[in-house]
Structure 1
Amino acid sequence: MENAQSRCLFLFFLLTWGLPPEVAAEVQASSDGSNAAQNPVQLTDVPAAVEFIAAAEVAVIGFFQNLKIPAVSIFHSIVQEFQDVSFGVSTSSEVLTYYNITGNTISLFRLVDNERLDLDNEDVENIDVTKLSRFIEINNLRWVTEYNPVTVIGLYDSMIQIHLLLMMNKASPDYEVSMHRYRKAAKLFWGKILFILVDSGLEENGKVVSFFKLKESQLPALAIYRTVDEEWDTLLIAEISVEQVQNFCDGFLKEKQLRENHEPEEKSPKVEL
């Protein structure tokens, strides 16, 4: 302990041959319709809106009282940039009231930490493609969020203060299987730990690896980190398994609870990795 994601069946076969059936199915699901045009779903009543949000890892909804404002066309234009985000639009007074919308608002809902983030009237009036795109990029946190200079902002703004980092080269032949298991483990710690992927194949991510006093030759590895006090631990792994990840996280959480029961916690500023 220390401080400081086939266009043809043949191609699909090539990509998934040798993978466990559940992983192959996951690859197929993620590739189906990837090139299809995406349009915002019209949410006409409260049940439809609730179901839409609950079904998505990340959902962005435009709650508009006036469809003639510039923000509406900007909202529609941004949809194709984020194929992994679900977009919806609602003008229903019933829906707006249910979500306490009093003006034109763009809201992002994410499952991983049950968070809702709003761009309210003034922000929507001054929105442009760049601003809306950045708002979504920063806050696009998922079961497993890939670390980069933009997502790190949203990660550190989350109320969840414990982060688990898998440092692994995405070019590794074990990557797809490992990520399937890592996502599965992430769901076991919903609301407690944010799961992050650090692509060690990117030179700029070397600073993250070195922060945890690790070397490239030691990867893949797990690092668990508490942002409030920079408490962290690492685990060298030859192969990712759900049980291994679960045990590592459980151990950290138990030690955290023991410390909190015996010592007063002194909060210090968060440090971005």
Structure 2
Amino acid sequence: METAQGRCLLLFFLLTWGLPPEIAAEGEASSDGSSAAQEPVQLTDVSAVVEFIAAAEVAVIGFFQDLETPAVSVFHSIVQEFQDVSFGVSTSSEVLTHYNITGNTISLFRLVDNQQLNLEEDVENIDATKLSRFIKIHSLRLVTEYNSLTVTGLFNSLIQIHLLLIMDKASLEYEESMHRYRKAAKLFQGKILFILVDSGLKENGKLISFFKLQKSQLPALAIYRTIDEEWDTLPIAEISVELVQNFCDGFLNGKRLRENHEPEEKPPKVEL
């Protein structure tokens, strides 16, 4: 376990190095007040829960033995903060048994890697801030924008290959590029984790330098395997589904576009 953690620390260090802790998870909490108020869906049996989870990129379910616990109120209070997350509640003993729930528990389900993550905090004493942070950290989607919170969830994913689209979100090509990038992400669901890195942010400079990319080479794709730290890059003039697919397939098949993949000096793998 210690070795596996060490393999991930290098890029984790670069992703978090220089990021001030107060950076918010922009885009994760997407409510602008214009959407209709949503309420958690009541899930009465296993089949309903299975369908609910399968229909959402990120689903958060409160498994409660009764609805009188204070955690239920906290759960309801944060629903409006995450308009792009599906919330559900179940008190069914059949459902709790199916998902190995033995007490009041809040779980997050991710479509991207089929993970069930249970809130490790004491649910009986949970507050809105801690619950909100748990969701922000672990809400991985088909394409996840990395920041000081999501980076933890990215490296806790079961998926060991990460593809990064490094481009300026302020560019005119951004919206169309993201549309194509998301389409490509569906082709590699469960195999490659798709990430967006905003090259317009100064704090992302260390990451760009790690992949030996110059500003003149952006936008670019960078692919990275956490288990052995192999990586490759591809500067792009325009993104397309076919281009992304070919680049990913090449990496999966052992083909590399770059001759030298190792940085001249690796930052020390420090405990974070």
Residue 147 of structure 1 corresponds to which residue in structure 2?
146
- The equivalent residue for 2:228 is 229
Q: Give matches, 1:19-34, under 5 Å.
A: none
Residue of structure 1 in register with 2:156 after alignment? 157
- 1:218 aligned partner, one-letter code: Q
Unaligned runs of 5+ in 2: 1-9, 12-29, 256-267
Check the 8 A contact 1:229/1:270 in 2, yes or no.
no
**TM-score, normalised via structure 2 length:** 0.80
The equivalent residue for 1:70 is 70
Distance in 1 (alpha carbons) for counterparts of 2:99 and 2:163: 32
Question: Where in structure 1 do 4 or more consecutive aligned residues deviate above 4 Å?
Answer: 269-272
Using the alignment, how far apart are the partners of 2:63 and 2:34 within structure 1? 26
1:79 partner amino acid: V
Structure 1: stretches of 5+ with no match in the other structure:
5-29, 257-268
1:107 and 2:99 aligned:
no
| TM-score of the superposed pair, with normalisation by structure 1 | 0.80
Alpha-carbon distance in structure 2 between the residues aligned to 1:103 and 1:57? 25
* Equivalent residue, structure 2, for 1:259: none
Matched residue, 2:119:
119
Post-superposition CA distance 1:123-165 (Å, at most 9, x none): 2123111211111111000000001011000100111111000
Matched AA of 1:99:
Y
The equivalent residue for 1:182 is 181
Q: Per residue, is there more helix in 1 or in 2?
A: 1
Counterpart for residue 201 of structure 1: 200
Give CA deviations for 1:50-86 in whole Å, capped at 9, x if unaligned: 1110000000000101211111111111111111110
CA deviation map 1:5-64 (0-9, x unaligned):
xxxxxxxxxxxxxxxxxxxxxxxxx99x95211211111122211111000000000010
The count of corresponding residues between Structure 1 and Structure 2 is 232
Structure 1 residue 229: deviation in Å?
Answer: 2.1
The secondary structure found in structure 2 opposite 1:36 is: coil
Could you say which residue in structure 1 is the equivalent of 2:245? 246
Which residue identity lines up with residue 129 of structure 2 in the other structure?
T
- In the alignment, the residues of structure 1 paired with residue 208 and residue 79 of structure 2 have an alpha-carbon distance, to the nearest angstrom, of 34
**Residues in 2 aligned to 1:94 and 1:271: alpha-carbon distance in whole angstroms:** 45
Aligned partners of 2:208, 2:105: CA distance in 1, in Å?
39
SS of corresponding position for 1:255: coil
Q: Take 2:162 and 2:34, find their aligned partners in 1: how far apart are those partners?
A: 30
Question: Shift of the alpha carbon at 1:271?
Answer: 8.6
Report the identity percentage: 82
What is the alpha-carbon distance in structure 2 between the residues aligned to residue 104 and residue 79 of structure 1?
Answer: 18
The equivalences for 1:67-106 within 5 A come to 67-106=67-106
Following the alignment from structure 1 to structure 2, what is the Cα–Cα distance between the partners of residues 229 and 46? 39
Partner AA of 1:250 in structure 2: D
Q: Where in structure 2 are the equivalents of 1:39-50 lying within 5 Å?
A: 39-50=39-50
How far did 1:109 drift? 0.5
